[in-house]
Structure 1
Amino acid sequence: MIEGDGRLRRLLGGDALASLRMRLRQRFERGPVDGKIERLRISNLNRDEHSALAGLIGRPARFSGSMQIDVQVIDAALSRAGVASSLREALESIDGPIIHAETAQTELNARWSKAISFATHLDFSSFLQVPSGAGLLKRLSNSDPDVAARLCSQADTVLKLLPAKGMTRAQLAAGTLGDAHALDMGEAVATLVLAVWRKKGRDERTDDENRLFESDDIRGIGEDRIRDIWARAGILVNELARPALFLNLNIDSSQTPSSGEPNYASLRFLLRSNPLWDVRSRNVYVCENPNLLAIAADKLGANCAPMVCTEGMPAAAQRVILQQLVTAGGRLLYHGDFDWPGLRIGNHVMREFGAIPWRFDVTEYLAAVARAPRPGFALTGLEVHASWDEALTAAMRTHGLAIAEESLADELLQDLAR
């Protein structure tokens, strides 16, 4: 056997014939399932490759760039020489098993189908039916169907417990996966769960926001965004960070009247207490900047209408309190900076929470521009379309001035006085 193996390698082995062996193997890989091939035509032969084939079938060594060979003739020649029972066996002896491509693909597809079958949660199953979702699963599993099956099973278990009501992420992870850190940022199961929950809210966001979420892979987004997605699922992550700033909001009609002092509500409090805010059929004024809320508290105190501040783009606590106010029957009115980020935030708040503009339109902008000191602050960054006022974006583009929300405090206080 050892002697035969040495003779075989002299006949077909070595780096000089590696390309020829690869082409011959490909014919078997792509041929009939039973591996029976009668004839082959091999092209683009060099002299060493032609000489090796000619020697196997006993043809004259006169060079030709292509050759048609009878596989059974080569099988017989190799068998008589005692080096291999067939050409296929010879190729496998030198370079390893030949896997039939179509059969291997069918088996692989079956393994992936089995892996995805562990996703029984409706939103999860739908997520994996689209190319981006399936692609994310393959990346997270390093294209291993067995790993993918485990990830699907674990993510499915987690998703079936959502939405929760103020459960910590560590508690959820320990209870479902046996490891308090299994849903930490960057973990594969957490990535799948967050991607499914983010997709649930995608249709409710503006085009500007969706540009931040083009991929189904959440691994590139920041901690605030991730905390926000978990919060929408009722899960607490760093629940004391970025609490929601508000003024003169009461939880129910029996509570002592507001003191006129600003207060904060943590994500932990909002999700665990789920307070019923006393705002039914009342206006709640939403601003972008905490300075405006502070001015309102200083000037109006307890006589100020209810206010909430987003402090820029709403994070988890801000989103939760705004949704709770809407659920409680409050009418949200929004004002922000007249700049491109301010319009982006306005699009978000109005689209997601049904807010209406509060002195946040082209008329107010033009009046502010007329009063603004020169040269003023120039608009910077990418232009944003104001979904609630077609003319506002055009006017801001024309004048090129940004107007800070605080500079309009006198006008806004007129609406806040009660």
Structure 2
Amino acid sequence: MSALPPATRDWLAGPALARLWSGARQRLESNGVQSTGSLRLTAVSSRERSDLSLLLGKPLTGAAVTVRLDALDERLRTSAAGLGLRQVLEELGPPLVDRRAAREENAAERQRVRASLASSLDASPLAGLEWVGRWSDALRRTGIPKGVTPEAAVRTFQQAVQVLGVLLDPHRTDACGRGELAASVTGSAHGLDDGSWLARLVQRGIALAHGTDLPGDAAGRRALWRLVSVTPDEVSSTVLTYGLRPVGEDWRARSLRERADHRAETHLTSRDLLDVRLHLPAGTTVHICENPRVVEAAAEAGGSHPLVCTSGSAATVVLALLDTLASTGSRFAYHGDFDWPGLALANRIIRRYGAQPWRMSADDYEHLATRNQAEKIPQLPLAGQPVSAVWDAGLAPAMAALGVALHEEAALDLLVDDLRGAP
């Protein structure tokens, strides 16, 4: 319930005094919530001048009005409002924020966090190491991520120092999994997951200690963990493949050829790709699709062409496989969905590998759309922000004109026919 009489509150909340209260709120929030100083209003309307005259108890003339906040505070206290300026502002709007005090408190909290970091470093095996000063300076420059409380920041810094102390111990001989290390320090196996603040702090320290740049991609970050004998998760993410027949007599090459002989798809993990170079026969074109159903259909039909599936997004393990194949001379042909995300993914693959578009022209799109319409297949509306196709300037306009999205399954019979053709 308002502490202001209803009629008084209604008058004070009127539009003619809105600029006064807005300016007074800004001034009090910036000066320690003190009713001091003055406020100048310019281009004052006749209605504003009239209400300001009533509020201040004196006639006002001219297009500009200067209001002393201490006088306004006193006037409000002795008026029907019966409250000071701060109380009136909080009756008319949200509570005032003492921004000066908040800044001072934030500065004090930052100092406490920095002091805690320095104390943790001094008490750790890292004390005195040349790179530690640069690591600490970098942390001060980057600051604390938004939303992280000072208490959480202190705890995270302490955990980072603890992890680095373990990993960079010159007498350490044993390797460990990243999940195990995280659980031992944070209590959670996900405490050092890629992208977490703690993981970034530790990775920056590892990079500085080893005189290397902080990697910008997931593969580089995994390599950084391996540099200190920490095994990242390299088995949960997979890339779906079919028909890969690498040359060579190592067990992986033989296994892939045998699965291809039996028309069996293969899921390869990042771990599978660590120590192997999949060298396909010279001149091999690897087809790339977006949807697993294409792999399934190719296997059912006994397709003879090698096929790699992005499963809707070119995850790190997918790019790792394609990078490996590209480095050994493979060429690529790409097909994906005819929607805007599909074109964005196609652009990425085609740019990165110089892949040839595979049934991905404007003519291909219009043919499939016409066929679907003739077969009375329900149309899927095209939604989202348009994306231009780097390989065919006419594709995006054709898609926008028809407004129909076509998933890869719409071309499944044509793709399977291609994959069954002579390699």
**TM-score scaled by structure 1?**
0.53
Tell me, yes or no, if structure 1 residue 139 matches structure 2 residue 165.
Answer: no
Question: Aligned residue for 2:278?
Answer: 277
How far apart, CA to CA, are the structure 1 residues paired with 2:348 and 2:159?
A: 33
**Distance change >3 Å, CA 44–CA 311, structure 1 → 2:** same
Which AA in structure 2 matches 1:200? G
Please give the secondary structure, in 1, of the residue aligned with 2:373. Answer: coil
1:186-226 residue CA offsets vs partner (Å, 9 max, x unmatched) = 9651476799999824xxxxxxxxxxxxxxxxxxxxxxxxx
Measure how far apart 1:324 and its partner are. Answer: 2.7
* Within-5 A mapping of 1:349-364: 349-352=349-352, 354-364=354-364
Output the CA distance in 1 between the equivalents of 2:157 and 2:349: 39
What SS does the aligned partner of 1:333 have? strand
Q: CA separation of 1:180/1:402 partners in 2, compared to 1, >3 Å: closer, same or farther? A: closer
Paired residue for 2:297? 295
Q: Which residue among 18, 35, 43 is the counterpart of 2:70? A: 43
Show the 5 A alignment for 1:170-319: 170-173=179-182, 180=189, 182-183=191-192, 188-190=197-199, 200-201=216-217, 236-237=232-233, 239-240=235-236, 243-254=238-249, 255-256=253-254, 257=257, 258-267=260-269, 269-271=271-273, 273-279=274-280, 281-301=283-303, 304-319=304-319
Deviation at 1:286, TM superposition (A): 0.6
Asked if the contact 2:159/2:185 (under 8 Å) is kept, the reply is no
- 1:116-161 deviations in whole A, cap 9, x for unaligned? 99896999987975xxx5351x533437774564366468779999
Shift in Å, 1:400: 1.9
Q: CA RMSD in A?
A: 5.3
- For 2:293 and 2:136, the matched residues in 1 are separated by 42
Contact 1:267 1:317 in 2 (8 A): yes
CA distance in 1: counterparts of 2:326 and 2:108, whole angstroms: 52
Question: Separation in 2 of the partners of 1:140 and 1:229?
Answer: 27
Conserved? CA contact 2:336–2:343, under 8 Å: yes
Given that 1:249 and 1:278 are in contact with CA atoms closer than 8 Å, whether structure 2 keeps it comes out as: no
Partner letter of residue 173 of structure 1?
A
Which runs of 5 or more residues in structure 1 are unaligned?
1-18, 28-40, 51-64, 66-98, 202-226
**Match of 1:363, SS?**
helix
Q: What residue is the counterpart of 1:393 in the other structure?
A: 396
Give the partner amino acid of 2:148. L
- Structure 2's unaligned 5+ residue stretches are 1-28, 38-67, 78-83, 85-99, 122-130, 170-174, 208-212, 226-230
Task: Give the deviation of 1:336 after TM superposition.
Answer: 0.9
How far is the alpha carbon of 1:325 from its aligned partner?
Answer: 2.3
Alignment CA distance shift 1:289-1:104 (3 Å): closer
Secondary structure at the aligned position of 1:140 is classed as coil
User: Secondary structure of the equivalent of 2:150?
Assistant: coil
> 1:338-361: CA deviations, max 9, x gaps?
123322332343345554422222
CA change 1:191–1:247 in 2 (3 A) is same
Report the 3-state secondary structure (helix = DSSP H, G, I; strand = E; otherwise coil) of the residue aligned with 1:350: helix
Q: After TM superposition, give the deviation of residue 335 of structure 1 in Å.
A: 0.5
Which residue of 1 is the match for residue 408 of structure 2? 405
**How many Å separate the matches in 2 of 1:160 and 1:384?**
49
Describe the SS at the equivalent of 2:401: helix
**Partner-residue secondary structure (3-state), 2:298:** helix
The answer as to whether partners of 1:236 and 1:267 remain within 8 angstroms in 2 is: no
- The TM-score normalised by the length of structure 2 is 0.53
CA distance in 1, matches of 2:177, 2:387: 37
Q: Structure 2: which amino acid aligns with 1:330?
A: S
AA partner of residue 396 (structure 2): T
Q: In 2 relative to 1, CA 122–44 (structure 1 residues): closer, same or farther, beyond 3 Å? A: same
Residue 370 of structure 1, CA deviation: 3.6
Contact 2:35/2:70 (8 A) holds in 1: no
SS in 1 for 2:360: coil
Letter aligned with residue 277 of structure 1? L
- Taking a change above 3 Å as real, the CA distance of residues 181 and 385 of structure 1, as seen in their structure-2 partners, is closer
SS in 2 for 1:372: helix
The CA distance in 2 between the partners of 1:392 and 1:115, in whole Å, is 58
Q: Percent identity?
A: 24
CA distance in 2, matches of 1:121, 1:267: 38
